[in-house]
A = this chain, B = another copy of it.
């Protein structure tokens, strides 16, 4: 119990700092949303996913706020977003480790991977056209063999 309390307190301080350094006021909705993103077993969440996770945790935060906050977090660099082909935009914490995604077409499960060689080849392709890469999206749609 004791350790649990300390953990939560540390968490909140940690999140408050993240918010402050992003130039955002520290509010309950923002802390709760950050918590969901940090603790959810599924790392890639849509606005709707966050809304429902909060509801299950007993926090009824309006969808409008969630959309606004997720966008602010993305602008601040706390989150990244991806548009998978199923049409939904998902957000994930920016942990500083660049990676790409495999999405299981049967279960929707998302697996992260990173391949340095693919990255290098991408830059070569852009170079060859006299272009500079500002971002990229690589998604493999997969199923169990």
**Minimum distance in angstroms from A105 CB to a CB of chain B:** 5
**CB atoms of B118 and A144 under 8 A apart:** no
Q: Indicate if the CB atoms of A134 and B143 lie closer than 8 Å.
A: yes
- Interface SS, A side: strand
Copies of this protein in the complex: 2
Q: How distant is the Cα of A135 from the Cα of B143 in the complex, in angstroms?
A: 10
Whether A132 and B139, one on each chain, are in contact in the complex, defined by CB atoms closer than 8 angstroms, is: no
Chain A interfacial positions (CB closer than 8 Å to B): 83-85, 87, 102, 104-105, 111, 113, 115, 117-118, 121-122, 125-126, 129-145
10 further A-B pairs in the complex, CB-CB below 8 A; given A115-B121, A133-B140: A83-B85, A102-B131, A104-B131, A118-B122, A121-B121, A130-B144, A132-B144, A137-B138, A138-B138, A138-B139
